[in-house]
Amino acid sequence: MAYRVNNIREGESYDDIMKACAKHYATMVKCRNELQRIYGPIILYNVGSCAALLCTLIYQLSQ
């Protein structure tokens, strides 16, 4: 998107480029939100599991 804004070709309108970039950005935000909705709980579970495992291992090593 930055390339497109910085390198405007002859005959292209700055407003049209900004509208296209805004649409592209909105699409990317929707995709990000969907990925967070799907993978957020899975990642949270993995982080919790790893934390519990590390605590257990450290406790066993200290005994």
Residues 5 and 21 sit within 8 Å (Cβ to Cβ)? yes
Please compute the mean of the pLDDT values over residues 31-46 and round it to a whole number. 96
Coil, strand or helix: which one is 26?
A: helix
Average pLDDT, the chain: 91
Please compute the mean of the pLDDT values over residues 35-41 and round it to a whole number. 95
Q: Is the pLDDT of residue 36 over 80?
A: yes
Range of the domain at 42: 2-62
The token pair that represents 13 in the structure block: 């309108």
Total of domains in the chain: 1
Q: Is the pLDDT of residue 6 over 80?
A: no
At residue 28, the pLDDT reads 97
